[in-house]
């Protein structure tokens, strides 16, 4: 059933990214350049957060199974849905921006394109941008940005009648 598949995906997302974090920062610490290791770690953390998002959705699926129609508004307006939506937007932006920096760095116009310090600053910038983007919808009570779908996916752009759709 889809619940089993969702559980497997969540487990692999959490365990796989945890294993990569350990491997890249303990086992392969000496073999990878510091800037590459920082970027991979950054992406792993973002993807681990996406696994937490998936876990929240899976737990909600179990809690509301068989009675979701009766409790849909409770879930969609509740704090767990907002947290899940926030994690989704935060992790997807952080992951996307990290992969962008990795891609740019792979061109290596110069052999020292990204120093460890520059990479650390870029990682800080990535998380700051992702945090701000994910936080903005929480700052106004008139937006139902994170509670428009049952999976708290933050994309209300498909309905122009939703407050915040232009964001």
Q: What percent of the chain has pLDDT over 70?
A: 86
CA quadruple 118, 123, 129, 135: dihedral sign: negative
Integer Cα distance of 134 and 68 in angstroms: 26
Residue count of the chain, please give it. 167
Banded model confidence at residue 165, pLDDT cuts 50, 70, 90:
low
Highest mean pLDDT of the ranges 51-60, 101-110, 152-161: 51-60
pLDDT band for position 164 (50/70/90)? low
Over residues 8-56, the pLDDT tens digits come to: 999 999 999 999 988 888 877 777 778 888 998 999 999 999 999 999 9
Tokens found for residue 62: 């179990």
């Amino acid at each position: 059933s889809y619940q089993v598949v969702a559980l497997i995906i969540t487990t692999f997302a959490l365990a796989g990214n945890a294993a990569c974090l350990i491997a890249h920062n303990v086992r392969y610490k000496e073999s990878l350049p510091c800037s590459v290791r920082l970027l991979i770690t950054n992406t792993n953390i973002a993807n681990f957060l996406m696994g937490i998002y998936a876990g929240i959705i899976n737990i909600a699926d179990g809690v509301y199974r068989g009675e979701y129609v009766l409790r849909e508004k409770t879930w969609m307006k509740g704090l767990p849905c907002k947290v899940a939506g926030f994690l989704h937007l935060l992790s997807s932006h952080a992951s996307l921006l990290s992969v962008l920096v990795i891609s740019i760095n792979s061109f290596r116009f110069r052999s020292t394109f990204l120093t460890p310090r520059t990479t650390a600053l870029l990682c800080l910038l990535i998380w700051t941008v992702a945090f701000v983007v994910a936080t903005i919808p929480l700052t106004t009570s008139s937006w139902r940005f994170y509670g428009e779908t049952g999976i708290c996916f933050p994309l209300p752009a498909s309905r122009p009648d939703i407050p915040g759709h232009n964001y």
